[in-house]
């Protein structure tokens, strides 16, 4: 867009790329983190300048409300069902109504079988998965040794672990090598899907 400084063009491009990847706009904190701005006030000043020049629109008193005025093409995006929250040791918490979210197409090999779960809390940090991360899950029960799966133990407890099967035994291993694997009979483990991607969102 004409009339923007080099830095303003960079900020605008980041906003567009973020929306293409995530389906919604970045927070002020995410803009600050990406550009190493010294404060949120600096972010506010850049966005205010972009708004003044007609490059973006902002809804007042709403988070993640920055929208570029030029259309954003989603030709390289894939829209997936965004179905709920996941935390280790608990059942998946489904949304009352299924939402959708755009993710990079290169992360999804079987879009007709994939969905997205948002991590809730710190229970998956052992697997290097953080609160607020988005897990892209392919719904299938078969797996390859070493894949990370969403599994339900004894019909109750949900875990996200690397999996291996030896005869009638299932080994669920942590990414932290100091943690011993969980060993169970195959009939005690129900694989809900395989994690095929992760998107990390920086929170306010």
The string of DSSP codes covering the chain is -TT--HHHHHHHHHHHHHHHHHSSPPPHHHHHHHHT-S-HHHHHHHHHHHHHTTSEEE-TT-TT-EEESS----TTEEEEEEEEEE-TTS--EEEEEEEEEEEEGGG-S-GGGEEEEEE-SSTTGGGT--TT-EEEEE--S---TT-EEEEEETTTEEEEEEEEEETTEEEEE-SSTTSPPEEEEGGGEEEEEEEEEEE-----
Say how far apart CA 182 and CA 148 lie, in whole Å: 14
Residues marked active site are found at 123, 161
- Please check whether residue 185 is in contact with residue 120, taking contact to mean a CB–CB distance below 8 angstroms: no
């Amino acid at each position: 867009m004409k009339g923007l400084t080099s830095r303003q063009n960079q900020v605008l491009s980041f906003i567009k790329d973020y929306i293409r990847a995530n389906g919604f706009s970045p927070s002020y904190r995410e803009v600050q983190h990406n550009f190493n701005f010294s404060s949120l006030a600096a972010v506010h000043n850049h966005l205010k300048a972009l708004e003044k020049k007609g490059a973006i629109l902002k809804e007042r008193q709403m988070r993640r409300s920055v929208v570029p005025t030029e259309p954003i093409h989603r030709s390289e995006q894939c829209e997936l069902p965004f179905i709920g929250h996941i935390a280790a040791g608990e059942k998946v918490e489904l949304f009352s109504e299924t939402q959708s979210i755009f993710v990079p197409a290169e992360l999804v090999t079987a879009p007709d079988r994939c969905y997205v779960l948002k991590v809730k809390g710190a229970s998956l940090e052992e697997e290097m998965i953080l609160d607020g991360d988005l897990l892209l899950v392919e719904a299938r029960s078969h797996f390859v040794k070493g894949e990370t799966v969403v599994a339900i133990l004894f019909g109750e407890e949900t875990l996200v672990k690397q999996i291996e099967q030896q005869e009638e035994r299932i080994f669920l291993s942590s990414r932290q090598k100091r943690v011993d694997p969980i060993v169970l009979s195959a009939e005690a483990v129900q694989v809900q899907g395989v994690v095929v991607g992760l998107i990390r969102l920086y929170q306010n």
